[in-house]
Amino acid sequence: MAAFYSKALNLKAFRAVQSHLRLFCDAPKFPGAKTTWTQTLKISEAKQEDNLPVYRVLDKQGVVIDSSHEPKLSSEVLRKMYKSMTLLNQMDNILYESQRQGRISFYMTNYGEEAVQIGSIAALNNDDLVFAQYREAGVLVYRGAPIDFFMNQCYGNNLDVGRGKQMPVHYGNKDLHFVTLSSPLTTQLPQASGAAYAFKRAKNGKVVITYFGDGAASEGDFHAALNFAATLECPVIFFCRNNGYAISTPTHEQYRGDGIASRAPGYGMGAIRCDGNDLLAVYNTVKLARKYCSENNKPILVEAMTYRVGHHSTSDDSTAYRPKEEISMWSTESPVGKFRRYLETKGLWSEEEEKSWAKDVRKQILDAFNKAEKVPKPAWKEMFEGVYKDLTPALKEQVKEMESHLKSYGAHYPLDNFK
């Protein structure tokens, strides 16, 4: 009897060992995936409890929750950050109004996303290359672009470094390492992957950051960019401003997954999701992201959760598709206000300074604005420049044609406004 039982137990043990051996030595050898076998049939589905949590440093009142996460920033830097956010707000106020008055043709504001922009760029080196979408003017403000720079581009005047070629807010600045924007969404993403690859080969220590929204992440170029960056190991930060809307389309009509961050594992990439309305959280996140990219020569996906307080652009009235209460709630929850309370508790800002700064910066902006309005547009011949490095014979002929036409019909063209 004992012999029988012992044999049975041995058989069970043998089967267990056999099963373990199968697991380790009999692993699937398919080139397409490194994984194990299963005899269970089930559909693998994401659960809401597995959604990536939102990293924050400050609570709603602007109080640091865990002091070990408070970045050690100097008072100059902290004040520069706040001043940048408020300058951005004031510039948006004035330029939005100027479009309404017919003085510039178009404008896009940044309300609600000040911390996203300034927090992220402050965490990078000055020569890290930026590929932006269109709602990142704060990046240029922080890096030191003078107010004139923005005004001249919006007016398309002879001082515009872009030479009047594009609509307002399509900024570009070589000295500040900010690649000129283009209207087609998401096209900058695979370009960022390529630039990062070139930097890696050049061993220049730079990383690339590229900004895009929750809507832009639906484009094919998003998929292309992340897949390339992952497979070719490019040091690029993919920074998504998830602000809840793509013009009128809310996120639940844009995607069904867990935001944008959840897509990273699909590419074999890491991700961090942070509170985009918490400047310190954005700062810490991008600081870590940069370290990760730079040390590993690998890409990373950052998703900053935020809310687009303003309309999509001057061509949009967002009350047509969202309740005023929603807008005012997020407006009150302002990242600028939260950061201001943080600074005040540190004794770095005050009500008096707020008043004098607001007055001062408004004056600076108005002065720049009025100045830019008076600058003539570039000479009309510049329309033909920059198509190629040099004018082709065909273009030279077209210039001559137009020259001749203007000699007879110049009175019908706004030549007086042009240099």
Give catalytic residues, as residue numbers.
97, 183, 312-313
Q: How far is the CB of 191 from another protein (least distance, A)?
A: 3
Measuring CA to CA, how many Å separate 396 from each of 381, 389, 401? Answer: 10, 13, 9
Q: How far is the CB of 272 from another protein (least distance, A)?
A: 23
CB 237 within 8 A of CB 293: yes
Q: Which residues bind another protein (CB under 8 A)?
A: 129, 131, 160-166, 170, 172-174, 179-180, 182, 184, 187, 189-199, 201-202, 208, 220-221, 223-225, 227-228, 231-232, 385-389, 392-394
Q: Which of 137, 161, 148 is CA-nearest to residue 85?
A: 137
Give 34 or 174: the residue with its C-beta nearer to another protein: 174
What radius of gyration do the chain's Cα atoms show? 27
Identify the residue whose tokens are 């609570």.
Answer: 59
Q: Which of 143, 150, 161, 106 is CA-nearest to residue 312?
A: 106
Q: Which of 274, 250, 253, 271 is CA-nearest to residue 262?
A: 271
Give 81 or 140: the residue with its C-beta nearer to another protein: 140
Measuring CA to CA, how many Å separate 389 from each of 174, 194, 325, 392? Answer: 17, 22, 52, 9
Token pair in block for residue 388:
């190629």
CB 126 within 8 A of CB 401: no
The CA-CA-CA angle for residues 297, 302, 305, to 5°, reads 175
Give 172 or 259: the residue with its C-beta nearer to another protein: 172
Give 191 or 262: the residue with its C-beta nearer to another protein: 191
Q: How far is the CB of 170 from another protein (least distance, A)?
A: 7
Q: How far is the CB of 379 from another protein (least distance, A)?
A: 13
Instruction: Provide φ and ψ at 418, rounded to 5°.
Output: -110, 150
Q: How far is the CB of 161 from another protein (least distance, A)?
A: 6
Q: CB under 8 Å to 76, separation ≥6 — which residues?
A: none
Token pair in block for residue 301:
């996906």
Give 184 or 265: the residue with its C-beta nearer to another protein: 184
Give 218 or 227: the residue with its C-beta nearer to another protein: 227
Q: How far is the CB of 174 from another protein (least distance, A)?
A: 4
